[in-house]
């Protein structure tokens, strides 16, 4: 069973995460990168929607058990490959020459919430699911690049609160603070609204991609120049 797959809905590529809690490990990063590459390679695609095939979870973030096992086994290169692989995912979502839209249809915790922030737009269902940055309780700090692109998705005052408290936020709350475009009643309403929004885009890729390259130039610079210091040294967790 594919961890990530995609299908075409008219001019929209719908990429679905498909692994229970959609925990992120090296396999997840590899399959997500492949799906994004394939979607962008199709010239008929005008927008990308990222969602989950599992109703309860959008993504519960990093596969902490897998990561711990890799540290124990001293599979350090695999850990680095995972970190750089996820940075490639974030980069592709940020720089895709078409709009990238997260349809958050379940819990988005940690790297799952961060993944949605790499997208240009977000929709979320209201009847079930929270958005949360629990890293403050898990001892896992954001990489500098994550800080940079999450900051473009979440207003600074709200990011300060959510990041430092680890509190769970609901869709109506996130709509009020302009983190998401719309809080939708249920999963069916979520996909209807997200797809309608996605299909409204018929922009030329050249100008759309150039807008994003210029808007996010500083974010890419941070990812390229600052993240390697932490990834290469495996300085990924704080024990105290």
Total count of domains within the chain = 1
Phi/psi region, residue 52 (left: phi>0; alpha: psi -120 to 50; beta: rest), is beta
Domain membership of residue 197 (yes or no) is: no
Domain membership of residue 228 (yes or no) is: no
Domain membership of residue 206 (yes or no) is: no
Q: Considering the entire predicted model, what is its pTM? A: 0.96
Domain membership of residue 203 (yes or no) is: no
Domain membership of residue 8 (yes or no) is: yes
**What backbone phi and psi angles, to 5 degrees, belong to 162?**
-65, -40
Q: What pLDDT is recorded for position 55?
A: 87
Strands (E), 81-208: 100-104, 107-109, 121-125, 131-132, 182-184
Q: What pLDDT is recorded for position 239?
A: 67
Q: What pLDDT is recorded for position 144?
A: 97
At 117-136, the pLDDT tens digits run: 999 999 999 988 999 999 99
Domain membership of residue 205 (yes or no) is: no
- DSSP character for 24? B
| Intervals of the chain under pLDDT 50 | none
- Cβ-based neighbours of 56, under 8 Å, separated by 6 or more: 106, 107, 128, 129
Q: What pLDDT is recorded for position 240?
A: 65
Range of the domain at 108: 4-191
- Cβ-based neighbours of 169, under 8 Å, separated by 6 or more: 130, 131, 132, 162, 179
Domain membership of residue 236 (yes or no) is: no
Q: What is the CATH number of the domain that holds 141?
A: 3.90.226.10
């Amino acid at each position: 069973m594919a961890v990530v797959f995609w299908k075409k809905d008219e001019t929209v590529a719908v990429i679905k995460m498909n692994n229970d809690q959609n925990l992120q490990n090296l396999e997840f990063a590899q399959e997500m990168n492949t799906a994004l590459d394939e979607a962008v390679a199709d010239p008929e695609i005008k927008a990308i929607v990222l969602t989950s095939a599992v109703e309860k979870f959008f993504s519960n973030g990093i596969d902490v058990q897998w990561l711990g096992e890799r540290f124990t086994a001293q599979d350090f290169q695999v850990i680095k490959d995972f970190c750089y692989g996820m940075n490639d995912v974030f980069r592709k979502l940020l720089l895709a020459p078409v709009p990238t839209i997260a349809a958050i249809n379940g819990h988005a915790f940690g790297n799952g919430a961060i993944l949605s922030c790499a997208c240009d737009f977000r929709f979320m269902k209201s009847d079930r699911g929270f958005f949360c940055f629990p890293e403050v309780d898990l001892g896992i700090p954001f990489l500098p690049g994550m800080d940079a692109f999450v900051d473009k998705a979440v207003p600074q005052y709200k990011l300060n609160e959510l990041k430092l408290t680890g509190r769970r936020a609901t869709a109506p709350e996130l709509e009020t603070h302009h983190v998401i475009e719309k809080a939708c009643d249920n999963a069916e309403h979520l996909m209807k609204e997200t797809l309608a929004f996605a299909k409204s885009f018929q922009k030329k890729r050249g100008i759309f991609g150039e807008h994003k390259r210029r808007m996010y130039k500083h974010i890419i610079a941070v990812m390229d120049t600052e993240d390697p210091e932490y990834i290469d040294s495996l300085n990924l967790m704080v024990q105290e």
